[in-house]
Amino acid sequence: MAARKKVRGKRDRRDRRDHGERLRHSRPLDPFDPVDPFEPLLLGAHVSTAGGTPNAPARAKAIGATAMQMFSKMANRWAERLCEDEECRAFSAALTTTEVRATAAHDSYLINLASPDPVLRARSLASFEAELRRCEALGMQYLVSHPGNFMDDRASGIARNAEALGIALERVPGRVVVLMEMTAGSGTAIGSTFEEMATLIDAVPPPHRERVAVCVDTAHIFAAGYDLAGDYDGVWSRFGDTLGMHRLRLVHLNDSKTPLGSRRDRHELIAEGALGERPFRRIMTDERLVAIPKVIETPKLDDAETTDRRMLERLRGYVRSAP
C-alpha cells in the first residue's frame, strides 16, 4: 500500500510538470522566443483569482484582455499551497476559451530576498520557490517580483537578492522567466534605477541569468525620477543603454497619484494622474514596445470589470487614433 502511494505521488508530481509544459506549448507566446510585432495587441489587467485560479481567465475575457496578471496565492499571507492537477486542468481549460496570450503571476508582497535577517530571507526563499512551482504547474510565462529591501547595506542587499534568485532557479528548473519589477525607491527598496537593476541581474549566476528580465511599472519609474511625461525618449534611451531593450518583457501601465521623483508608489487611473495622457499614448504606439505585454494595475473603483474595461478601451483608443 505504501509503495502504491509513493508511486502515485511521483506520478502526480510528474503530471503537474507535464501539464505546465502542455499549456505552455499550446499558447502562441513563449517567453524565450521573439514576439511577432504583427500579432494582436497584448493588453490586459491584473485580475482577481477569488474562488480559485481557474476563475481568473474568465475575468480577463470579460474585459477583452489578451494579457493577464494574477496572484497564485493570497499575496499578504505566508501560507503556501500546491496547484493540484484538477486545478491546473481547470485553469488550462478556462484559458483556452479566452484571447489571452501572455500570462504573468505576481509573487507575494511578503517576500524579501534581499533581507539581511537569515530567518526572513530563508522564509522568503522558500516562498519564492513555491511561487515558481505554481507558475510552472499552471503554465504561466512570467513571475513578477519586487527586488526587496536591503535594510542594512544596498550593495549587500543586491548581492543577497541575486544569490537567492540563482538558488531558486536552480531548485525549480523550467521555462518561467522571473521579471524583476522597477520600484519607486521608497525607504531601502532596491531597483529604483536602471543601473541598480542591471547590477542585480548581472550578479545572477550565468546558468540562470537568461531566466531573469525586467518589468517596468510606469508609475514606479516616474516616482523614482524618470520623467516619462517630459522626456519620454530620453527615459527609454537610458533604459536601452543600461539594461538593453531585450530585457524588457512586461510593462505595468499605471498613472501616478504622486509627482515626479516623489518616491511614493500610488497608482492612478490612466491619464488621470501626474503622468497624464501623453506618455500612455506614446507607449501604446511605440514600435519598440508594440510586442511587449502590457497590464494595468489601476484602481478598481466600485466595479473592477467596468473600470478595467474602460481603462483598456482608453488605451486601445490611443492606438486606433494614431496617425
- Tell me, what CATH number does 279's domain have? 3.20.20.150
User: How distant, in Å, are the alpha carbons of 253, 268, 304, 311 from that of 300?
Assistant: 14, 10, 4, 10
Range of the domain at 160: 2-320
Collapse the DSSP code of 45 into the 3-class scheme (helix H, G, I; strand E, B; otherwise coil) and give the result. Answer: strand
- Cell numbers at 240, concatenated: 536601452
Cα 189 versus chain centre, distance:
17
The segments of the chain whose pLDDT lies below 70 read 1-39
Q: How many CB atoms lie within 10 A of CB 16?
A: 20
Nearest to 305 by CA among 52, 121, 58, 82: 58
Q: How confident is the model at residue 186, as a pLDDT?
A: 95
Go through 227-240 and write b for each residue having 16 or more CB atoms within 10 A of its CB, e for each that does not: ebbeebeebbeebe
Q: How confident is the model at residue 29, as a pLDDT?
A: 54
Collapse the DSSP code of 55 into the 3-class scheme (helix H, G, I; strand E, B; otherwise coil) and give the result. Answer: helix
Q: How confident is the model at residue 30, as a pLDDT?
A: 58
Contacts from 228-231 at CB under 8 Å and sequence distance 24+? Answer: 228/275, 228/279, 229/260, 229/274, 229/275, 229/276, 229/278, 229/279, 230/260
Write the DSSP assignment of 214-260 as a string of letters: EEEEHHHHHHTT--TTT-HHHHHHHHHHHT-GGGEEEEEE-EESS-T
Task: Name the amino acid, one letter, at 154.
Answer: R
The domain tally of the chain equals 1
Q: How confident is the model at residue 31, as a pLDDT?
A: 56
- Contact residues for 181 (Cβ-Cβ < 8 A; gap 6+): 144, 145, 146, 147, 191, 214, 215, 216, 217, 220, 252
Nearest to 280 by CA among 271, 272, 289: 271
pLDDT tens-digit series, residues 268-323: 999 999 999 999 999 999 999 999 999 999 999 999 999 999 999 999 999 998 87
